[in-house]
Structure 1
Amino acid sequence: MFFEPGYSCQEKEDVKAYWLLFQKNKFLVYENNGQFALPDIDPDKLNIKPVRRQYLGRMDGRSCYAAGLSPETVTPEGMSFCDLRRLLALIPDDLFSLVGKAYQILHWDRNHQYCSRCGTQTENKMDERAKLCPSCGFINYPRISPAIIVAITRGREILLARGSRFKIAFYSVLAGFVEPGESFEECLQREVGEEVGLKVKNIQYFGSQPWPFPNSLMVGFTAEYDSGEIKIDKSEILDAGWFTADQLPQIPDTGSIARQLIDSFIQDQG
């Protein structure tokens, strides 16, 4: 799959396009015995009327749109609306990245129909991904919420915690949102201190991952334990502890940067 981002469609309306269709936070897919695929459909021919749409660019040489559907939309035969989180690791990474991008843009579009400065209805800018107020000229860009995520090790052990907001009782590495005026490293030290009462050292960049729930950018790090005893913030953490690679609790499924950090730790242990 080759995708080229764009902001305004230059194709004629009769050229067949790809449509990424959403109903709230669920994505329309073909599903067959646990296998998922992107439907190549024409919404008009199925009598599907999008509530809103955003041009994304070109996928494999064809225009590509994200579109939001009303809750009353009837699911086409042979297809289903699938929760976005469920698709993680069940479809190719490049497709999930595009679907996540589409969802973030639709979420932004839905929440910024009017200017936050003067209340005038906004318009899409044609030369960049932004909303322009035709009255006061204020420009609004898609919101991105950066967050750190960190794997902390102590010798042959890794620190894992069970979050109070996890719907499934699994353990993961620590994470938290960056506050105004903070560097990633400062945010990391603060979050670790607040959540488990520890200090860390030797902070190293690991990688990043867009996280469309709804608009995060996860920036991954590794760090080593420096000092302190675990003292959890009970409003955010239910339990935390040190684990060896051969005695891990239930951890996140594949596909997330949290799992990548844990898998990297396991690999380093040989």
Structure 2
Amino acid sequence: MTKRTVSPDSPAHRAVFAVTSLVPQFPAPADIPATGVRWVLVADQGVAIHDGENPQVYTQACPPQPGLVEYLGQIGTAPCYAAEQTKDIPLPEGWVVAGVRELYGRIPDEDVAVASFAVRMIGAAKTSRFCGRCGHETVPVLAERAKQCPSCGLVTYPRISPAIIVLIARGEEILLARSPRLPAGMHSLIAGFVEPGETLEHAVRREVGEEVGITVKNIRYFASEPWPFPDSLMIAFVADYATGEIAIDNNEIVAACWFGRDNLPELPKKLSISRALIDQWVEHKIPLA
């Protein structure tokens, strides 16, 4: 792997879902304070927002009879919690449920990140309520973000699933592909989960070979982004085409082609790291071989 890198500090590379306004101070409070708390109400895969001219994602009032409750951290001096909004309890007046993606552009990015984090932590709490080794109900670990089994002692941390995504350049063209999961007409970059025992670079080479049948060289790091759908960590790379002809797998990929700057297809939304990669290439900010 070469030592050439692409700086992730440009505003175009700012990860929308990276939680920067939230400080995870531990140990977590043993009891929820009676006042001065910020709450994020999580409903299914969305959050409640106070709709209107200036939408708000935080409420100061403790939700009545919440389901799961998870400590998120501190925003300034205020502790912040996620609370599961159960279906049998009505939302506060003026509040509606919105998906996390729908919040982009409607509220500050820092609040979008906290909202997505709240959804993620409630989801993690649902999947770690019982010990995976002995089946006993778990309890929170106040010293860190984890659950522990009081019976066998197993500690369970929120799941993080590393995945690579790569922009492949060939001269003045890049390779874009269509997954059957994308909206009609939309193309994106090659991506896939890292398997046990792999380096990130090996995962890049394997995914590219499996999905489009070519080989790449000069792999270099671009940036990373937590992707809370539900628990991915996207690690982005740039690579140069080496050899081979495109041969799609007709499973993960149903179409792939080389595109120039003047004939790009429909692309993912700007909140994604895939779009950040493509935009930086379009603006000639990614060094080529």
TM-score (normalizing by structure 1): 0.92
Q: Distance in 1 between matches of 2:178 and 2:163?
A: 18
Q: Count residues with an aligned counterpart.
A: 266
Structure 2 matches for 1:204-223, cutoff 5 A? 204-223=220-239
User: Per-residue deviation at 1:12?
Assistant: 6.4
Match of 1:5 among 18, 21, 24: 24
1:182 aligns with 2:198: yes
The structure 2 residue matched to 1:193, chosen from 203, 209, 229, is 209
- State the secondary structure of the residue aligned to 1:101: helix
Alignment equivalent of 1:147, drawn from 163, 171, 183: 163
- The alignment status of 1:263 with 2:271, answered yes or no, reads no
Once residues 142 and 39 of structure 1 are traced to their aligned partners in structure 2, the CA distance between those partners, rounded to angstroms, is 23
Distance 1:233 1:28 in 2: 40
Over residues 233-257 of structure 1, what are the superposed CA-to-partner deviations in whole Å (9 max), with x where a residue is unaligned? Answer: 1111121111111211110111110
Does residue 257 of structure 2 align to residue 237 of structure 1? no
Please state how far the C-alpha of 1:167 moved relative to its aligned partner.
4.1
Secondary structure of the corresponding residue to residue 176 of structure 1: strand
Q: What is the CA–CA distance in structure 1 between the aligned matches of 2:105 and 2:186, rounded to whole Å?
A: 17
TM-score (norm 2): 0.86
Give the deviation of 1:83 after TM superposition: 1.0
CA drift of 1:89 comes to 4.6
Larger strand proportion of the pair: 1
Q: Pick 1 or 2: higher relative contact order, CA cutoff 8 A, min separation 6.
A: 2
Change in CA separation of 1:39 and 1:56 when aligned onto 2, cut-off 3 Å: closer
Map of 2:187 onto structure 1: 171
Counterpart-to-counterpart distance in 2, 1:118 and 1:26: 32
In the other structure, the counterpart of 1:42 is 61
Give 2:172's match in structure 1, choosing from 156, 179, 183.
156
Q: Please tell me whether residue 247 in structure 1 is matched to residue 266 in structure 2.
A: no
Aligned to 1:21: 41
- Specify the alignment match of 1:99 in structure 2: 115
Return closer, same or farther for 1:12/1:82 CA change in 2, 3 Å cut-off.
closer
Q: 1:76-115 alignment to 2 at 5 Å?
A: 76-115=92-131
The 8 Å contact of residues 30 and 142 in structure 2, kept in 1 or not, is answered as: no
**Offset from partner CA, 1:124-154 (integer Å, 9 cap, x none):** 0110111111111111111100000111111
Change (3 A) 1:137 1:110: same
Partners of 1:89 and 1:225 in 2: how far apart?
A: 35
Unaligned runs of 5+ in 1: none
Could you list the per-position Cα deviations for residues 169-200 of structure 1 after superposition, in whole angstroms to 9, with x for gaps in the alignment? 41111110000000000000000011111101
Letter paired with 2:37: A
C-alpha spacing 1:67/1:213, structure 2 compared with 1 (3 Å): same
Q: Secondary structure at the match of 2:254?
A: strand
Which deviates more, 96-105 or 195-204? 96-105
Distance 1:269 1:210 in 2: 23
Decide which moves more: 236-245 or 170-179. 236-245
Q: Which stretch of structure 1 is more off in the superposition, 91-100 or 205-214?
A: 91-100
Structure 1 stretch 3-12 or stretch 251-260: which is displaced more? 3-12
Residues 94 and 269 of structure 1: is their aligned pair in 2 closer, same or farther, counting only changes over 3 Å?
Answer: closer
| Native 8 Å contact 1:161 1:172 kept in 2 | yes
Change (3 A) 1:157 1:91: farther
AA aligned to 1:128 is E
- Fraction of identical pairs, as percent: 41
* Structure 1 consecutive aligned stretches of length 4 or more whose deviation exceeds 4 Å: none
Tell me which amino acid in the other structure corresponds to 2:160: I
For structure 2, the residue ranges without an aligned partner over 5 or more in a row are 1-19
Q: Measure the CA separation in 1 of the matches of 2:103 and 2:21.
A: 20
